[in-house]
Amino acid sequence: MSPEKAEEKDAVRTDIFRMQAGNSRVHETKLQRMTSTGGLIDRYLFKECLRLFAGLCGLVLAILLIERLVRIVELVANSENGGVASFRMVIDLIPHYLQLAIPAALFLGMIIAIDRLSRSGELVTMLSAGLSLQRLSRPFFVLAALAAIVSLFISGFLQPMGRYDFRQTVHSIETQSFKAAFQEGRFVRFDNYTVWTDFRDFSGQTLGETFILEARPDGSERFMSAPSGKLLETGAGTFALQLEQGRGATLEAERDEANSSRDNLQFQTMIWPVTSEQAAFRPRGNDERELTLFELGDVSAYPGVRQDAATASLHDQLGRAALILILPLLAFPLGVNLGRKPRAGGIVFGIVTLLIVQKALEYGFQMAETGAVSGWAGTWPVVFLTAVAGIYFFSSTAGEPLLRWRRSGAVRNEGLVLSSGEQGK
């Protein structure tokens, strides 16, 4: 523990113990100062949770990106400027994975922060000074509100733009992949082609002895070889391979030694069109995942997007942001440990809870996207049930209804739920 953090903890404990030792008037005055807006306890709890949230968010984001980075490397392996392309693709993916990491990191960070306060005795000290769980939860709700705003901005604006840029980069790589595949002295395989050349000049256009094999969708194979060749860009992003003094053949899918089917040919000059990808990428708005939050309300300007899918996406984004506001209600019951034998497994139950809510949202979104239910019905019932469960468990743990923020200090914490090791003593 750093010296600054230790001093901050000691300051909180010292102030609370002084309040307990002093008269009631001094107690109330000191308590009001410490729990006022921006007070010492609020800042301390906010910083504790924020540290854990930032660390877990970075960890979850790194894990998700590493898995995707492997596929990105495979995609850019045969492209020109692969390092720049891969870096750009990773940047485009950050909003997508960050939107997934924020609720998970925030929820687990809250559980860990509350559990640490319980195990260290700080939570008991604060409660004995007359602070209720409702009052102590305010910094956590403030952090949840900030996280909800950031998450909604990411999912509603940054994520659609990043997804479109990612697809545009992939399109550019696939368009250039054939030209970049010809490397001196190496067999390179991409898509349904295997190519080889023993020489390529500095301009990248002139090739030496060249071989190319194409595996067709019907199972047949076509190959060509020539002592020299050229790579041509015929316009609109269409590439062609010009071979000189070569030969080739087409091998059918079903053949045997007795009855082989083979079309042989020899040629002086042959231009072989390889790809017909369009150089200019399409405009944004191919599906609802490329539309911003405001554009989802009316998709008449995007013919390829169905209104049902857009409405489902709109409610899904709003509902997920609302769920972040509910997370403190679920985190406190899982993190509070007030008995002599602290409970274990709060993090495990938290992960299971996240998975259940996530799968319920995914199922509801799929139903709403296909038009089986209305857009709001795929998301908001899950949000409502989660909120009801959170209010119930939080109130049970705190010993009083959630909305009753004002209570006398003498009876405020009488109904707190203790862990199994303390109950009945």
pLDDT band at 425 (very low <50, low <70, confident <90, very high): very low
pLDDT band at 176 (very low <50, low <70, confident <90, very high): low
Separation of alpha carbons 305 and 3, rounded Å: 56
> Dihedral of CA 186/190/192/197: which sign?
negative
Residues 217 and 102 in one domain: no
Separation of alpha carbons 93 and 144, rounded Å: 23
Predicted confidence (pLDDT) per residue in 149-167, tens digit: 999 999 999 999 999 999 9
Q: Please enumerate in sequence order all residues whose Cβ is within 8 A of that of 232, keeping only pairs 6 or more positions apart, or say none.
A: 205, 239, 240, 241, 242, 271
Distance of CA 16 to the CA centre of its chain: 41
Residues 93 and 147 in one domain: yes
Residues 86 and 107 in one domain: yes
Predicted confidence (pLDDT) per residue in 199-254, tens digit: 888 766 788 888 888 888 777 888 888 998 888 776 655 667 788 888 888 887 66
Q: Which amino acid is at 143?
A: L
Separation of alpha carbons 177 and 79, rounded Å: 5
Q: Is residue 195 part of a domain?
A: yes
Residues 29 and 103 in one domain: yes
pLDDT band at 33 (very low <50, low <70, confident <90, very high): low
Q: Is residue 408 part of a domain?
A: no
User: What is the enclosing helix (H) or strand (E) of 87?
Assistant: helix 82-120
Cβ neighbours, 10 Å, residue 52: 19
Residue 14 pLDDT more than 70?
no
Residues 378 and 254 in one domain: no
Distance of CA 13 to the CA centre of its chain: 38
Mean confidence (pLDDT) of the chain: 81
Residue 20: what pLDDT? 47
Separation of alpha carbons 195 and 299, rounded Å: 44
For the chain, what is the domain count? 2
Q: Is residue 414 part of a domain?
A: no
Strand partners, 211: 196, 225
Separation of alpha carbons 82 and 76, rounded Å: 5
Q: What string of DSSP letters covers 162-180?
A: HHHHHHHHHHHHHHHHHHH
**Domain span including residue 169:** 12-174+287-398
Residues 242 and 298 in one domain: no
Residues 192 and 169 in one domain: no
